[in-house]
Amino acid sequence: MKLDKIECIDRKTNKIYIENVPGEIFLKFLYHNPFGKLSLELLVKRKFLSSFYGKLMDQKKSINKIEDFIRNNHIDMSESQKKVGEFISFNDFFYRKLKPNARKIEDGLVSPADGKVIGFCEINDWDKFFVKGTEFSLEKYLNNKELYEKYRGGSMIVVRLAPADYHRYHFPADGKIGSRNKIDGYYYSVSPYAIKDNFGVFCENKRELTILETSKYGDVLISEIGATMVGGIKQTYTPNTDVKKGEEKGYFTFGGSSVLLLFKKGKIKIDNDILENTKNGYETKVYMGEKIGE
C-alpha cells in the first residue's frame, strides 16, 4: 500500500491534520521504490549509517542546522530550558530538556512521550490499523518465551516520536523500575511510510525492554525502539528503584523513534478516542503526561 501523506488526529479539536515529515521524499523513495528498497536493505537499515549520522549531529558545527529545523517544524522553544544560542550541538538541541511545568502530568496512565499514539485492547488487534504485510509477532518482539506468555492476550500502546517531537521519554505510572534488557537489531524507519504495510519491522529493530512494577496496572513492559538515524537510546533512570509518574526515564538521540507499552490482560482500559482513531486508521497526537488510559 502506498501512503501519500501521514494523517493524524488532533486530540484537542478531533480534526485530521497532515504531519510535516522531515526527509519525506527520501522515506517514500526508500519504502515505495524498488531502487530505494535495495538501498534500504544494503545500507540504510545498518547500524553504521545511523551511528555515523548520530556522530555528525554531536559535532559543534551541527548547531547550524538548529534554527532551520525549529522554523520548518514550528517548534515552541519557549518550553525549552536552554535558548537556541546555548546548545553545543544539534543533538544537544534534539534531546533538550523542557522547563519543569511545560507538561502537565494528568490522572490515570499517561503518555510516556510527546508523539502520535495507537492503542489495541488486544495485541493481536494490530491488523485493524496496519495492512497485513510482514506481521507483528509478540514472541519475536520480546525474544523471551516467559515474557511472551506473560503478555499474550494483553493490551498494547505505541507512541511514535517524529523528528520534530520532544525526545525525552518518561514513566507512565508510579512504580518500581527494573533493569533493561537490550535486543540488537536493525534501524528501519518507524514512520507510517515504512510500517503501515509492514508492522513487522518493529520485531527487526534494535530495542530495549524494562518492567515497571505498578500497584494499579500490574507489571507494565516499557520498550524503546531504535530507528533510522537514531544515534542511540540513552537511559537516565536508576534500575531497581521506586519512580514517580512523569519522571524522566531516558532520551533518544537524533531521529524518529517509538515507545511501546505492554499490559497483561485486563489490567488497562485504553481511552476510547485512541482506540476509535486506531480502528479508523489514524494516530492520535498526544503529549507527555497526557492521560491515555486508566
Contacts of 196 (CB under 8 A, 6+ apart): 1, 3, 130, 131
Q: Please give the grid coordinates belonging to residue 93.
A: 538541541
Active site residue 271: no
For cell 485493524, name the residue. 128
Q: Give the span between the Cα atoms of 26 and 190, in whole angstroms.
A: 14
Q: Give the span between the Cα atoms of 114 and 112, in whole angstroms.
A: 7
Q: Give the span between the Cα atoms of 253 and 206, in whole angstroms.
A: 14
Task: Say which of 89, 111, 114, 167 is annotated catalytic.
Answer: 114
Active site residue 114: yes
Q: Distance of alpha carbon 259 from its chain centroid, rounded?
A: 4
Quick check: helix, strand or coil at residue 141? helix
Q: Please give the grid coordinates belonging to residue 282.
A: 489514524
Task: Say which of 50, 80, 191, 257 is annotated catalytic.
Answer: 257
Task: Say which of 170, 189, 191, 258 is annotated catalytic.
Answer: 170
Cβ count within 10 A of residue 280: 10
Active site residue 174: no
- By annotation, the residues acting in catalysis are 114, 170, 257
